[in-house]
Amino acid sequence: MLQRFFRKYDTTDIVMWLIGAALAVIVIYGAARTLAVGKYSSDVWRDFIIFGLAQGSVYALIALGYTLVYGILFMINFAHGEVFTGGVFTAYFVAVALANSGFSDEHWILSLLILLAVAVVVSMSVAVLLERIAYRPLRNAPRLVPLITAIGASFFLQYTYRGLYGSGVKTYPDIKQLSGTWVFFGIRILRTQAVVIVASVVLMVGLYIYVQRTKAGKAMRAVAEDKEAAALMGIDVDRVIVNTFALGGALAGAAGILYAMLFKQVNAFMGFIPGIKAFTAAVLGGIGNVPGAMLGGLFLGIVESLGPSLVLDGLGIRSPYQLKDAIAFLMLVLVLIFRPTGILGERLSEKKA
């Protein structure tokens, strides 16, 4: 019996199970202690969850860029976080100009749409240029080569933004009409968070329809399925790839504006952490899987928002919020180790190897 067990699973598997079990115990213990002490009221928990949903929907939008590109090229576009930065950082200057001229006070929806358009166009251009200059020539190179290129591009873009726009932290102007709260079905929600959640749901539904129903979306899915066959069917693969990068970039640009509404502050290096988190979200949902990325983003957002107060506080760790990012990274590591195919399963897992 024991022998058969050991023949089936090697030592590393067992070590991994032990690690997993230990982590589960720690998490449950921490959560139980926090809840037992009753430090936070149920209202506070609800606010945590709503904030988690809001930031999670931003992650989801960025994650879609990773997933779309991975689905087609099987590469991690490491510089996607910087695509996101490009849009929101550039749009900052437009936002300031609009605020100074008083335009955004009168027509806040229109000015938001203008910002959105600017961010989308800039992020899209960055993504397309990136593909054209850095990735296209390497499409048939050994696998590590495009990844290293992507890392290089990521740092290049970060420091380009710093060089162009300066290294300081810049703060988006407030929108008067969006301060305060709205009440939906008896739940009080910060207006910015509500707008963020609604906007990202609209965008995600739009993307889903685009991928599933339009001809371009169909071409995209065909290329993801099999590049050669798609090319034989008369699909311009290069063009589909450019489309994919543009689409991912556009979503990242939109995510940037939503991020700016939530967190206000922008700087040249802001895209790195959300980028990694969004990648985590994409992997959580099964990379290459569009609905998966959406769910993964929301899930990660909530875990990150609840984690410090729910688990770490219960474990008696001092200033748990400092470890907020560590939770996201830990999730990343755990998912990649224990379930690299993600929650919903990787749509294209059999082709990955």
Number of residues that bind other proteins (CB under 8 A): 53
DSSP string spanning 3-48? HHHHHHS-HHHHHHHHHHHHHHHHHHHHHHHHHHHT-S-HHHHHHH
User: Under 8 Å CB-to-CB from 272, ≥6 apart: which residues?
Assistant: 81, 82, 154, 158
Residue 114 interacting with other proteins (CB under 8 A): no
**29, 350 contact by CB (below 8 A):** no
**Reduced to 3 states, what is the DSSP secondary structure of residue 143?**
coil
Residue 75 interacting with other proteins (CB under 8 A): yes
Nearest CB to other proteins, comparing residues 130 and 247: 130
Q: Of 76, 247, 255, 302, which one interacts with other proteins (CB under 8 A)?
A: 76
Indicate the DSSP class of residue 308.
I
Residue 348 interacting with other proteins (CB under 8 A): no
Interface with other proteins in residues 239-278 (CB under 8 A): 276
Indicate the DSSP class of residue 309.
I
Q: Of 34, 57, 123, 149, which one interacts with other proteins (CB under 8 A)?
A: 149
Residue 143 interacting with other proteins (CB under 8 A): yes
Find tokens 């985590």 and name the residue.
280
DSSP string spanning 116-148? HHHHHHHHHHHHHHHIIIIIGGGTTS-THHHHH
Q: How far apart are CA 85 and CA 271, in angstroms?
A: 5
Interface with other proteins in residues 19-48 (CB under 8 A): 19
Q: Of 137, 180, 206, 345, which one interacts with other proteins (CB under 8 A)?
A: 137
**Nearest Cα to 264, choosing from 345, 192, 349?**
192
Instruction: State phi, psi for 39 to the nearest 5 degrees.
Output: -70, -35
CA angle at 57 for the pair 258 and 95, rounded to the nearest 5° = 5
Q: Which residues of 146-160 are buried (b: 16+ CB within 10 A; e: fewer)?
A: bbebbeebbeebbeb
Nearest CB to other proteins, comparing residues 47 and 313: 313
Nearest CB to other proteins, comparing residues 265 and 322: 322
Residue 229 interacting with other proteins (CB under 8 A): no
Would you call 334 exposed, middle or buried from its count of C-beta atoms within 10 A (0-12, 13-18, 19+)? middle
Least separation in angstroms between residue 217's CB and other proteins is 25
For the chain, the straight-line distance linking the first and the last C-alpha, in angstroms and rounded, comes to 33
Q: Of 35, 109, 110, 164, which one interacts with other proteins (CB under 8 A)?
A: 164
Nearest CB to other proteins, comparing residues 153 and 196: 153
Least separation in angstroms between residue 15's CB and other proteins is 6
Interface with other proteins in residues 165-194 (CB under 8 A): 165-166
Question: In this chain, which stretch among 103-111, 137-145, 177-185, 234-242 interacts with other proteins, using CB under 8 A?
Answer: 137-145
Question: In this chain, which stretch among 51-59, 109-117, 158-166, 248-256 interacts with other proteins, using CB under 8 A?
Answer: 158-166
Instruction: State phi, psi for 346 to the nearest 5 degrees.
Output: -80, 125
Q: Of 110, 141, 187, 209, which one interacts with other proteins (CB under 8 A)?
A: 141
Interface with other proteins in residues 304-343 (CB under 8 A): 317-319, 322-323, 325-326, 329-330, 332-333, 336-337, 340
Least separation in angstroms between residue 22's CB and other proteins is 13
Q: How far apart are CA 185 and CA 51, in angstroms?
A: 17
Question: In this chain, which stretch among 107-115, 150-158, 225-233, 248-256 interacts with other proteins, using CB under 8 A?
Answer: 150-158
**Nearest Cα to 31, choosing from 304, 319, 309?**
309
Residue 103 interacting with other proteins (CB under 8 A): no
Q: How far apart are CA 233 and CA 62, in angstroms?
A: 31
Contact residues toward other proteins (CB under 8 A) are 10, 12, 15-16, 19, 75-76, 93, 133-134, 137-138, 141-149, 151-160, 162-166, 276, 279, 317-319, 322-323, 325-326, 329-330, 332-333, 336-337, 340, 353
